[in-house]
Amino acid sequence: MWKPASLLILTLSTITLAQSPQELVQDALQKQQAGDLAGAVPEYRQFLKIHPEATAIHSNLGAALAGLGRFEEAVAEYKIALKQAPSHTGTRLNLALAYYKMGRIAKATALLVRVHTEDSNNHQAVLLLGDCYLRMGQEKDVIRVLEPEIKTHPDDLAIAYMLGTAYIRDKQVEQGQVLVDRILRNGDSAEAHLMLGSAKMGIQDFAGARDEFAKAVALNPNLPEAHVLYAQALHLTGDSDQSIKEFKAELNADPYNFESNLQLGAMARQEQDYDEARRYFMRALKTRPGDPAVRYQLAAIALDLGKVDEARRELESLVKETPEFTEAHVSLSMAYYRLKRPADGKREREIVEKLTAEAQAKQPGAKAQ
Amino acid sequence: MNLTRRQWIWLASVFGTTQLVRGQEAFAQEPLFAEVPPSASGITWVHENAISPSHYLPEALGPGCAFLDFDNDGWMDIFLVNSGPSDFWKPTKPVRNALYKNNRDGTFTDVTEKAGVSGAYFGMGVAVGDYDNDGWPDLFVTAYGKCILYKNNHDGTFSDVTEKARLATPGWTTSAVWFDYDADGKLDLFVCSFVDYSGVKKLECGNNQLGKNYYCVPRVFKPTTSFLYHNNGDGTFTEVSKGTAIARAMGKGLGVVATDINNDGRTDFFVANDTVQNFLFVSRGPGANGRWNWEEIALQAGVGFSESGRPRSGMGVDAADLNGNGWQDLFVANVDHEMFSVYENNKDETFRDVAHANGVARSTRLLSGWGLKYFDYDNDGAIDLFLANGHPDDMIDNYSMQVKYKEPLLLFHQGEDRKLHDVSDQGGPAFQKYFAARGLAVGDFDNDGALDVLIGNNGAAPLLLKNNAAKGNNWLGLKLEGAQCNRDAIGAKIYWTAGGKKRFRLKNNGGSYLSSHDPREVLGIGTASKIDELEIHWPAPSKQIDRLTNLPLNQYVRVVENGGIREYQHAAASQHTSKAS
């Protein structure tokens, strides 16, 4: 749904070394612009070995990695670029986008607020910020940032949907309805239904999303991501059988679709079909090397199969990289206990309790009374 | 083809039922469990769930139910818990619990008013136990509001002794269980506390699609600590969880079972929590400063979280030696797609989930389980499983393609392969129906040796199922009576040998959801013609071992600790009409 905010074109006027680095980076740029992201990445990396100070190349590499779904690596590159050039709004927006795609909405929001402050005319930033606020249930913030936008972009359906949804959730139903009607008047396209479905997923209206995605798939079964989004909505509304069919339909079109491989692997693991699960997970890892969710699943399979030390190693690595990964702490605690390391198990268990308490404190019931 | 019922069920589970049903009309005429309608039982009480447009969560959780012999006439009576006045609901017409006396002819008479057990709060569940060791069952009723302890007056009436007993437990309590944790011969009480639902302004969860409020997922509410009450022996209790692992465990308890997971002779207990991890409290004996030493080990034991490290929506729970290896296995039911768990005991304070191997996972994937019980429904000597289900969200049908609000009952039979097989298709017409089931109790209301089932349905009439599945198999019913140990003999171990097979049962307590069961133990021996030996290991403080021989069959006996069989209670005339081939 979202594309990187900017691709930085480096003129390399300052590079006066051998011809080869310049050719290298120009070739990488051409590949990136032509969509050959996998081809661009190694060339960027090679160039950065020689010129680690090339801020724009770090940013470009981040964009290429993000395009490949390798968000953790992309984030690392964007952070280097921002450290070297803290005022670069485009890189900050790209970093925010990477966090958004990783589901780390709070981090994305913080970055987007800064981008929006520095560049209030950045349409993509404000759209993304509105979506983040909506996902976090901050309707008044959605309204605050999107009301000016709808005036300058009255035909933008994404803005109309997000703002309309925020109005409705904020009990401003009549104003919301006006915008919903505007969306519905704009023809019946697969893309429109996909967008509406995505927005509904964002506000956890899973049944509404499911119906929108069903229409999108019916109108254009070849639309990228349509099957996988439909499958997710079906799964969330309890129709696992149909969900599996849709995930598989996505894989027929795109065998390396990350989400489909991850979800089908998780379902196979739930059925204790570990070989099948591993096949899906390994394919998912090819799309997103090092993805924490996939690595966790593989570690959990190892734990299930009694390969406790193998599981421990992977889980230790995961919690080091992602300290707030509660499930990994749970499994690591269990692994330590099984390895007769109760002190370590207890330590991990205490982390689980702390993370659980923190998550509970954010629930509305903690504030309702 | 002339098959015993057990053989027929096993064959059906292996080969499918279609071809077996042909030519087996007799089974079609007599289902394994037959519904006893209100017109036949006289049980006309209906649960009031107080459903409102606001959808306050307590509306969705009841009711519990119980089999108990409140008048000690040897026949199981029935207690049903109802909602009642609360800070979010003022009934416009009288709402009360129900106590039905067994008329010994398959019918019941409502004696609630005379008994004085109508209730006063938004009732949830019931735990039956003889806390004062006077030989008469008392009632502890949990609630959103305040619990009530009804002491049995031995004359068909009860007295509310809650305040005097110091059991006026606040908040929102659900399941409770009586057991003697410190082996002093007196039943103590654990009470599950659900979420913090206090405050004037109740949280409402809007529904974006339907524009209506729906029942909030308990995740949004703060967890609470449960209560452990020590029985002081003078009619009062002292809350003793402070400073122990119980007080540190912030949960959202819905189900509890008291058992002994490590065979150390001390009673442990397993708590199913909703949206937070389950708890397994293991008794480590007397601790420092006079406190009992409890260790909470659910995570390391592998029963706290799902296999993906996530807390689930634990509701119903039970324990039994499922596979006959002498160790207690556990069960926990969750909501749809979370999968129910059959936890097999690894004998080292850890468990592994064998729900898939048992076919339980596949059968329950779309269901939400509440009341449940491990018991030997056909008296073949092996533990089976009964599950009562229903989705907590009454509007789920509007936005789920597969998951429904009302759900079917499930019956699993343990085959010769030691696995549970879904035999619900053979259960009878009740298994083709759908219920918003919550509590479930098992008890032999007609004294035929076959444990019947009572189910509390949310906002509806209870369901009473008569068990026809045990005909042809022999049995012995035990009413254990502790003398030095607690009168209900919770924690007793029973070993019996028949037909060359030695079997074991631990007298657990609690289990299911919000409900309490027939306290008698029915020992099934299949087609064996006698019980060669019966050994009862009474719990501490005596740890007396009684060996009994020359035992009768197909009737109940009262067995007293260190006193042998004191009384024969003959079964109903209709029981045991034929032997299996």
A46, A69: one domain = yes
Nearest to B309 among A239, A271, A328 (CB): A328
What confidence score (pLDDT) does residue A224 get? 67
A5, A84: one domain = yes
Residue A7 contacts by C-beta under 8 Å, 6 or more apart in sequence?
A: A32, A33, A60, A63
How many degrees, rounded to 5, is the angle at CA B276 between CA A311 and CA A368? 140
ipTM: 0.86
A278, A302: one domain = yes
Q: Which residue of A has its CA nearest to B401?
A: A239
**Which letter, b or e, does each residue of B97-127 get, where b requires 16 or more Cβ atoms within 10 Å of its Cβ?**
bbbbbbeeebebebbbeebebbbbbbbbbbb
The most distant pair of C-alpha atoms in chain B lies apart, rounded to whole Å, by 69
Of A106, A113, A34, A37, nearest in space to A70 by CA: A37
Min distance B199 CA to chain A CA atoms (Å): 5
Of A52, A68, A102, the residue at which a domain comes to its end is A102
What letter represents residue A322's amino acid? T
A14, A57: one domain = yes
Query: What DSSP designation does B429 have?
Result: G
Expressed as residue numbers, the domain containing A291 is 256-358
Mutate to test the interface with B, among A240, A273, A301 (most CBs of B within 10 A): A240
Residue A143 lies in a domain: no
Indicate whether A202 pLDDT > 80. Answer: no
How many degrees, rounded to 5, is the angle at CA A285 between CA A282 and CA A286? 95
Please state the rounded mean pLDDT for residues A84-93. Answer: 93
Asked if A233 is an interface residue toward chain B (Cβ–Cβ < 8 A), one would say no
Residue A289 lies in a domain: yes
Residue A290 lies in a domain: yes
A27, A95: one domain = yes
A261, A311: one domain = yes
A248, A265: one domain = no
Of residues A32 and A19, more confidence is placed in A32
Q: Are B145 and B124 in contact (CB under 8 A)?
A: no
For B454-473, the pLDDT digits (tens) are: 999 999 999 999 999 999 99
CA dist., res. A75 & res. A56, Å (int)? 14
Contact A333 B195 (CB under 8 A): no
Of A254, A277, A312, the residue at which a domain comes to its end is A254
Of B241, B90, B252, nearest in space to B171 by CA: B252
What confidence score (pLDDT) does residue A9 get? 41
Residue A161 lies in a domain: no
What confidence score (pLDDT) does residue A236 get? 80
Residue A127 lies in a domain: no
Min distance A263 CA to chain B CA atoms (Å): 13
Residue with tokens 């990187």: A4
pLDDT in tens, chain B (581 residues): 333 333 333 333 333 333 333 333 334 458 999 999 999 999 999 999 999 988 899 999 999 999 999 999 999 999 999 999 999 999 999 999 999 999 999 999 999 999 999 999 999 999 999 999 999 999 999 999 999 999 999 999 999 999 999 999 989 999 999 999 999 999 999 999 999 998 745 666 666 456 678 888 888 899 999 999 999 999 999 999 999 999 999 999 999 999 999 999 999 999 999 999 999 999 999 987 889 999 999 999 999 999 889 999 999 999 999 999 999 999 999 998 888 999 999 999 999 999 988 889 888 988 999 999 999 999 999 999 999 999 998 988 887 777 889 999 999 999 999 999 999 999 999 999 999 999 999 999 999 999 999 999 999 999 999 999 999 999 999 999 999 999 999 999 999 999 999 999 999 999 999 999 999 999 999 999 999 999 999 999 999 999 999 999 999 999 999 999 987 775 554 443 333 22
Q: Which residue of A has its CA nearest to B249?
A: A353
Q: Which residue of B has its CA nearest to A293?
A: B308
Distance of CA A183 to the CA centre of its chain: 25
Please state the rounded mean pLDDT for residues A257-265. Answer: 89
User: What sections of B460-502 are H helices per DSSP?
Assistant: none
What letter represents residue B237's amino acid? F
A250, A264: one domain = no
Selected residues 247-276 of chain A with any CB under 8 Å from a CB in chain B: 266, 269-272
The CATH number of whichever domain residue A90 belongs to comes to 1.25.40.10
A250, A282: one domain = no
A213, A244: one domain = yes
How many percent of chain A have pLDDT more than 90?
A: 51
Q: Which residue of B has its CA nearest to A208?
A: B209
Of B455, B464, B312, nearest in space to B370 by CA: B455
Residues of A in contact with B221 (CB under 8 A): 363, 365
Residue A181 lies in a domain: no
Residue A151 lies in a domain: no
Asked if A33 is an interface residue toward chain B (Cβ–Cβ < 8 A), one would say no
Query: What DSSP designation does B547 have?
Result: E
Selected residues 315-344 of chain A with any CB under 8 Å from a CB in chain B: 326-331, 333-334, 337-338
A39, A83: one domain = yes
**Which letter, b or e, does each residue of B194-233 get, where b requires 16 or more Cβ atoms within 10 Å of its Cβ?**
bbbbeeeebbeeebbbeeebbbbbbbbbbbbbbbbbbbee
A234, A264: one domain = no
Query: What DSSP designation does B516 have?
Result: B
Q: Could you give the angle at which helices A190-202 and A206-219 cross, rounded to 10 degrees?
A: 160
Residues of B in contact with A205 (CB under 8 A): 208-209
What confidence score (pLDDT) does residue B29 get? 58
User: Do the strands B533-537 and B384-389 form a parallel or antiparallel pair, or are they unpaired?
Assistant: unpaired
User: What sections of A102-156 are H helices per DSSP?
Assistant: 105-118, 123-135, 139-152
Domain count, chain A: 3
CA dist., res. A136 & res. B267, Å (int)? 45
Residue with tokens 């207890």: A346
Residue A111 lies in a domain: no
Of A81, A102, A123, the residue at which a domain comes to its end is A102
Q: CB under 8 Å, gap of 24 or more: what pairs does B391-394 form?
A: B391/B335, B391/B336, B392/B60, B392/B61, B392/B215, B392/B335, B392/B368, B393/B60, B393/B214, B393/B215, B394/B51, B394/B55, B394/B60, B394/B214, B394/B215, B394/B436
Query: What DSSP designation does B40 have?
Result: H
